[in-house]
C-alpha cells in the first residue's frame, strides 16, 4: 500500500493510520513520545520551537493516541518503520529527531534501520537506550520482575496503574515535590487513549530491546538529556552507557530531575533544545 497523508495523518504500508501534528515553518524537528502517551506529551516543546522558527512534527505511535489500533505491528522495528513513513511521506530532510523514553529507542532504531539520510541531529531525553532490562550486555539493568509487574498492573486496572505511575514518573513522590494534578490527569488521559493491546505489547519493546548497535550507527550530533533522579529509566544503565556508544554523543544531566522532563523541566529543556538546534 502506498503511503498517503491528510492534514493530520499519514498511512503506513499496512494501512495503519498514524496521527500527526505538523506545525510551523522552517527546519524540521520530529518528536517521538514515551509510553503510554501520545504526541501531546511534546506540546510545550512544539509550541516553543514553532514560535522560534521551526517546523515541528509529532506522531502518535501506532496503537497510541489518535492513531489506528491494530493488533499487529506492536514492535520496535515497526515503530521505526512508521517513523520512516512520517519522514518519507512529508519528504523531510535535515531533520532533528527528538525521542523521550520509549521514543528515544524508536529514534535509535529508525537510524539503525533507515540511516541518517534525512537526519541532521538527534536528541534522546530520558531514553531507554541502550537497554533497560538486565541482560548479559547490561548486568546492572532493571530486573524482569519489574516489567512483569508493569504488565500485571496494565492487565489488572490500567487506569489506576497509570494514575499511580505518575507519582514516580514526575518525581511527585519525592519530599518537597509540588504535585500537579493537571499533569497527572493529562498523563492518564493520554494513557487511556492507547489500546490495551498496544500498551501491553509495548512493555516488552521498551524493556527488552537492545539498541546498542543502533546507537553506534547514530553518526549525527546527538544530545542525551537525563535526570539523575529518574525512577523510571535509571541514568546509570541508560544515558551514561549510551554516550559511550554514540559516535557524537554529549550528555546533559539535570540534577535532581525525574523522568517527565518535557513537563517538569520544560523551560530548561526548551532552551537547551533551541541552543542545540542553532549550534
pLDDT tens string 144-164: 999 999 999 999 999 999 999
pTM, two decimals, is 0.97
pLDDT band at 3 (very low <50, low <70, confident <90, very high): low
Percent over 90 (pLDDT), the chain: 98
* pLDDT at site 146: 96
Q: Does residue 242 carry a pLDDT above 80? A: yes
State the pairing for strand pair 27-32/119-125: unpaired
CATH of the domain at 274: 3.40.50.1820
Q: Which three cell numbers stand for residue 233?
A: 529509566
* pLDDT at site 12: 96
Q: Which residue has the higher pLDDT, 235 or 1?
A: 235
* pLDDT at site 2: 53
* pLDDT at site 137: 87
* pLDDT at site 199: 98
Facing residues of 10 across strands?
5, 18
Q: Residue by residue, what is the 3-state secondary structure of 159-227?
A: HHHHHHHHHHHCCCCCCCCCCCHHHHHHHHHHHHHCCHHHHHHHHHHHHHCCCHHHHHCCCCCEEEEEE
Give the Cα separation of 90 and 108 in Å (integer): 20
Which helix (H) or strand (E) is 86 found in, with range? helix 76-89
pLDDT tens string 160-179: 999 999 999 999 999 999 99
Q: Which three cell numbers stand for residue 102?
A: 520509549
Q: Does residue 1 carry a pLDDT above 60? A: no
Q: How many domains does the chain have?
A: 1
pLDDT band at 67 (very low <50, low <70, confident <90, very high): very high
Give the Cα separation of 206 and 149 in Å (integer): 14
Give the residue numbers spanning the domain of 124: 5-278
Give the Cα separation of 122 and 110 in Å (integer): 11
Secondary structure letter of residue 244 according to DSSP: H
Mean pLDDT, range 79-93, rounded to an integer: 98
Sequence-separated (6 or more) residues with CB below 8 Å from residue 15? 1, 68
Which helix (H) or strand (E) is 135 found in, with range? none
* pLDDT at site 99: 99
Q: Which residue has the higher pLDDT, 67 or 4?
A: 67
Mean confidence (pLDDT) of the chain: 97
Residues labelled catalytic? 101, 230, 259
Amino acid at each position: 500500500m502506498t503511503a498517503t497523508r491528510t492534514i493530520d495523518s499519514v498511512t503506513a504500508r499496512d494501512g495503519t493510520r498514524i496521527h500527526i501534528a505538523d506545525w510551523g515553518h522552517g527546519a524540521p524537528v520530529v518528536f517521538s513520545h514515551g509510553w503510554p502517551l501520545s504526541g501531546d506529551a511534546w506540546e510545550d516543546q512544539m509550541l516553543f520551537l514553532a514560535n522560534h522558527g521551526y517546523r515541528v512534527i509529532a506522531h502518535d505511535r501506532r496503537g497510541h493516541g489518535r492513531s489506528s489500533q491494530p493488533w499487529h505491528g506492536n514492535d520496535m522495528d515497526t515503530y521505526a518503520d512508521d517513523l520512516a513513513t512520517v519522514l518519507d511521506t512529508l519528504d523531510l530532510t535535515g531533520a532533528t529527531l527528538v525521542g523521550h523514553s520509549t521514543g528515544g529507542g524508536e529514534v535509535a532504531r529508525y537510524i539503525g534501520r533507515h540511516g541518517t539520510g534525512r537526519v541532521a541531529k538527534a536528541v534522546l531525553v530520558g531514553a531507554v537506550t541502550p537497554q533497560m532490562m538486565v541482560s548479559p550486555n547490561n548486568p546492572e539493568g532493571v530486573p524482569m520482575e519489574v516489567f512483569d509487574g508493569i504488565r500485571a498492573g496494565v492487565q489488572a486496572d490500567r487506569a489506576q496503574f497509570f494514575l499511580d505511575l505518575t507519582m514516580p514518573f514526575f518525581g511527585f513522590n519525592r519530599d518537597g515535590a509540588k504535585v500537579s494534578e493537571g499533569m497527572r490527569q493529562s498523563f492518564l488521559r493520554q494513557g487511556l487513549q492507547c489500546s490495551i493491546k498496544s500498551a501491553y505489547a509495548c512493555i516488552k519493546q521498551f524493556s527488552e530491546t537492545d539498541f546498542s548497535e543502533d546507537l553506534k550507527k547514530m553518526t549525527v550530533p546527538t544530545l542525551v538529556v537525563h535526570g539523575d533522579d529518574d525512577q523510571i529509566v535509571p541514568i546509570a544503565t541508560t544515558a551514561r552507557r549510551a554516550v559511550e556508544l554514540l559516535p557524537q554523543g554529549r550528555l546533559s544531566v539535570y540534577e535532581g530531575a525525574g523522568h517527565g522532563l518535557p513537563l517538569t523541566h520544560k523551560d530548561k529543556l526548551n532552551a537547551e533544545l533551541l541552543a542545540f538546534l542553532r549550534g
